[in-house]
Copies of this chain bind each other. A is one copy, B any other.
C-alpha cells in the first residue's frame, strides 16, 4: 500500500513509527539463478521429508492436536549435538523470531545496545520496534570487527559472526574478550552462517562457534538457524544457546507472545535434520568447496573478494560498478544482492550456488567484461 493511501488513524504510535524489515526479494521464475538470499544450493537431508511424511502417515490425525509448546524432542537433539543441557537450548520460528525475543528480553533497558554499522539489517528494525537505542560501531577499514571499539557502556552487544554481508569471521579469542569485558551486558553472537566457517583447511577442528563458550560466560547468548547450513529456510526454525537463566527469560517472553511457534511438522523435520550428521557434514563441506572455487574465479576476473566464512561472498568489481553489474545480471535472470549503502555500495553479495549456477554467473560476468573491453578499445 502506498504511503499516501494509508489511513493510520487507528494505529498505535508504535505501529506508526515502525520501519519494517524488507526481506530480499523472492521472485517466482523458472529459469532464475537466485543468488540473493543466501539459501543453500542443496536440498535438505532426505530424512527431513521422511520424518514429516511419517508424522502425516503414522498419526493421520495428529495435526488436530497442539504441538509440544516447548519442543522438547528438538531441543533434546540440539543439546546432544552440542553437548549441552536441554535447558541451555531455546528454539523458535526462525532465528528472526528468536532475535525479536532476545531484544525484548535483554536489550530493552536504559542504556543503548551496540552493533556493527554494517551487519544484518534486521537489528536496527528490532531496536526501533522495541524503542531501544542502537549505537552503530563502525567496522574497521578492512571491514573487520575490533572488540576494543565496543568498550563503552551498553546494555548489550549483538554481532553476526560470520558477519553479513562481509562474510568475515571474528575469533573466539575476540568473543571471549567482549564477553569478559561486558559481564553485566548480554553479548549475542548471531551465528546464522557459522557452519560454513573454517579457519584453516588443514585443521577443520579448530573451534569457531561461540557455543563452545557458553559454559564459560553466563552473559553470552548464541543464536543459529536451520535456514542456511541445514537447507531449511522454508521450515522456519531457529535456536539460541546460553546459560539456563537466559534461556528461561526467552521462554517466558515466548509464552507472553505466542506459546506454540513451532508446528508439529517443523519440529519433526528439524529434529530429523539434526540427527542426520553425515548429510549435514557432506553438504556444508560442498558449499565451502564451491565458495573456494567461486572466490578463485571471481579473483581471476579482477574482483576483490573478502575472505568469506559464510555461504556467500562479498565481492567488488575492479571498477566498483557493483550496481551496474547487478543490473546486467538481473536482465539475464541472475539475482545477486546490492546494498545501496555508504562503504559497501561498490560490493555485491553473491550467494554460493550449485556448480552450475556459479558457472552461469561466471560466464555472465566474463561476457560482461568482454563487452566492456570491446567498448574500451
A binding-site residues for B, Cβ under 8 Å: 1, 6-15, 18-23, 26, 34, 37, 39-44, 48-49, 52-53, 56-57, 60-69, 87, 93-94, 96-97, 100, 104-109, 125-126, 128-129, 155, 184-186, 218-219, 227, 231-236, 244-246, 248-249, 251-266, 269
**Are B249's CB and A11's CB within 8 A?**
yes
- Minimum CB–CB distance from A8 to chain B (whole Å) comes to 7
What is the distance, in angstroms, from A2's C-beta to the closest C-beta of chain B? 10
Contact B39 A66 (CB under 8 A): yes
Report yes or no: B259 in contact with A23, Cβ–Cβ below 8 A.
yes
A49 to B60, CA, bound (A): 8
User: Is B256 in contact with A21, judged by CB distance below 8 angstroms?
Assistant: yes
A10 to chain B, nearest CB (A): 5
Closest to A244 in B: B1
Q: Out of B11, B60, B248, B258, name the residue touching A105 (CB < 8 Å).
A: B11
Given pairs A1-B244, A8-B249, A15-B104, 11 additional interface contacts (CB within 8 A): A6-B245, A10-B184, A11-B245, A13-B108, A20-B256, A26-B68, A63-B269, A64-B234, A67-B236, A96-B259, A234-B265
Whether A249 lies near B49 (C-beta < 8 A) is no
Expressed in whole angstroms, the minimum distance between the Cβ of A43 and any Cβ of chain B is 3
- Given B1, B67, B105, which contacts A15 in the complex, CB threshold below 8 Å? B105
Q: A10-B245, A52-B52, A258-B100 are in contact. Are A66 and B37 (CB under 8 A)?
A: yes
Assembly CA distance A94 to B236 (angstroms): 14
CB pairs A–B below 8 angstroms (18 shown): A8-B249, A12-B106, A12-B108, A15-B106, A15-B253, A18-B252, A21-B259, A23-B66, A26-B66, A26-B69, A42-B64, A43-B60, A44-B63, A44-B64, A52-B56, A63-B269, A64-B234, A236-B260
